[in-house]
Amino acid sequence: MIGKQIKGKSFRGLLNYLFGKEGAKQIGGNMEGNNPRELAAEFRFSRQLNPKVSRAVYHASLSLPHQESLDDETWHEITQKYLQAMGFDMNQYTVVRHIDREHDHIHIVASRIRLDGTTVSDSWDYRRSEAVIRKLEQEYNLQSVQPSWEKDKHSPTTGERRQLARTGEESVRVRLQRSLDQATHDSPTMSELIEQIQQQGINVRVGYTRTGKVKGISYQLDGVALSGTHLGKAYTFPGLQKYRGVNYSPKRDDQRIQKLMEQFVENPTPAVPKQDDKRRKKLIEQTVENTASSVSVTNSLPIPEPANWEQIRLNLSQQYNLPNSLLTEVYEKGWLYASLAGQAIFVERTLNDVPTQAKQLEVTGNFTTIPLNSEMTKNGSFWMATDTTVKRAVLLSDPIEVLSVIALESAVDKGKRKPTLYWSVGDSEQLPLELLRSLDTVVIAFKDHEKVEGLIAEILAELPQAKQVSPGKAGWNKLLTDSKPQFTPSQIPEPQDYAL
């Protein structure tokens, strides 16, 4: 059984989404209402008991593998045991079952505020949830499913597997993952964890903002530095706490962490190749500036290599049918470049055009997130917009989808196009909510939207005016490819009027 959790602000927005799905069925709870309006009115009672709690909405989903199914009564019984174990012993809740997907699953909507006005603790709730689910699987003879934090552990790449077969040596990334797995087995404090892995020769750097707030964590072994995000969600600074049970208290740990970092002798910084151009120089200068402005943050943004750009442009044009003129414009603006390793790097940034992190396109078509100065930076994304005042926003799955929709919409007569912000989003915290709330039209256009229904529910709770459209599992890029006749590269029509 797979469990997911989200904390939100809007009961009505979430309930509208859950009840609005075809085949949705309320199968249990301890409330009288049986529709979003009535239930939201009831939830308002508990919210008033403790109005200081900003995220009072608890949304959990429990899903079975494809071959398993339960009846309504059993599902409700499991819900009660799950909530009880998670600390929801006197809280309002309702249960909605969906049959819109191939696997059997339910959604639990509960108030985090108990009826005595206290709040359910969310300390280590991801780790506790996995433990509860494992017990329920045994009790109800259900198939055990890999814990979510294990899925967020990045698997060895093809190159890493080849290295192991050729030399018998594991990659630095795999060795770091194994060391951290072993070191977090007994749920240490954050400073204890850092001290323990430093003793294994691993250099740990924790970045802080000027106000003393943690920005992120990175690790260096044998001269190779990798961010927590590069290892997987479970190895980021918040991930170590949520998924690995590491206990962190700023008052107790921060001073000790600073001393540990000062005591550790840093490995020399690798020299940067001399070959350069204006875009590369700007990116490197930005990298140095951002790194210097934080405390001991290891940068892992790939170094640009202009000599590789033409091959990257050709690959993107041939594999994804993206117009050369669009790719060239994005490249010239510095939002897309080629790395030394010959991979496409899409730069994520804030609405003020401040780089935050990057997305590296892998040969599989998936993206790897690479922080510019911290994997904790969440206020940016890969986005593009028209050069006039934005009146519409389209939320998309990834940079390829962004470029594909821009290419598709460039065929529309300019006079009929609405000035649009195209925003790639993988986390609701990335959204520029203040801007989006001011727009009348916000379109949620994720490919294979059933895989991210939790994210969609959270967005709809924040942006009730948003509407959903779906390009299917293949995404907008497939529609772009299907819409183009098969010309040779020199014959493909090139819309020029992007005005980005």
Beginning with the edge strand found earlier in the chain, give each strand of the sheet holding 344-349 in spatial order: 336-338, 344-349, 355-361, 367-371
CA-CA distance, 285 to 444, in Å (whole number)? 35
> 285 phi and psi, to 5 degrees?
-65, -40
pLDDT computed for residue 100 by the predictor: 58
Q: Taking the domains of the chain in order of start, what are their residue ranges?
A: 2-145, 158-266, 306-491
Strand partners of residue 217: 206
Q: Which positions of the chain have pLDDT values less than 50? A: 148-149, 266-277, 279-280, 283-299, 374-377, 486-497
List C-alpha distances in Å: 380 to 124, 285, 458: 27, 19, 18
Closest of 24, 20, 15, 4 to residue 99, by C-alpha = 24
pLDDT at 77 (0 to 100): 95
How deeply is 490 buried, as exposed, middle or buried, from its count of CB atoms within 10 A (0-12, 13-18, 19+)?
Answer: exposed
- Residue 53 vs residues 59, 121, 464: alpha-carbon distances, Å: 15, 12, 21
Tokens, residue 104:
């059997």
Q: Number of helices and strands (H, E) in the chain?
A: 18, 17
* Integer CA distances (angstroms), 180 to 4, 151, 198, 248, 265, in order: 24, 16, 11, 16, 20
Q: CB of 219 within 8 A of CB of 176? A: yes
pLDDT of residue 494: 40
The pLDDT assigned to 390 comes to 85
Residues 6+ apart with CB under 8 A from 84: none
What's the burial of 118, exposed, middle or buried (CB within 10 Å: 0-12/13-18/19+)? middle
Classify strands 355-361 and 344-349 as parallel, antiparallel or unpaired: antiparallel
pLDDT at 402: 95
Q: What is the pLDDT of residue 322?
A: 93
How many CB atoms are closer than 10 A to CB 485? Answer: 7
DSSP E strands, 185-256: 203-208, 214-221, 224-227
Residue 249 gets the label, from left (phi > 0), alpha (psi -120 to 50) or beta, of beta
pLDDT the model gives residue 284:
44
Q: Looking at residue 498, what is its pLDDT?
A: 56
- pLDDT at position 265 is 54
pLDDT tens-digit map of 398-414: 999 999 999 998 877 66
What φ, ψ does residue 258 adopt, rounded to 5°? -60, -45
Provide CB contacts within 8 A for 161, sequence distance 6+: none
Query: CATH classification of 2-145 is 3.30.930.30, yes or no?
Result: yes
- Phi, psi at residue 347, to the nearest 5°? -85, 125
DSSP strands (E only) in 78-212: 93-98, 105-111, 203-208
Alpha helices in 66-105 (DSSP H): 72-85
Cα distances from 98 to residues 18, 24, 111, in angstroms, run: 8, 5, 20
* Cα separation, 272 vs 284, whole angstroms: 9
| pLDDT at residue number 6 | 82
Residue whose C-alpha is closest to residue 110's, from 130, 71, 84: 84
pLDDT at position 489 is 39
pLDDT in tens, 37-86: 999 999 999 999 999 888 899 999 898 887 788 999 999 999 999 999 99
Q: Measured between alpha carbons, how far is 14 from 58 in angstroms, rounded to an integer?
A: 10
pLDDT at 149: 47
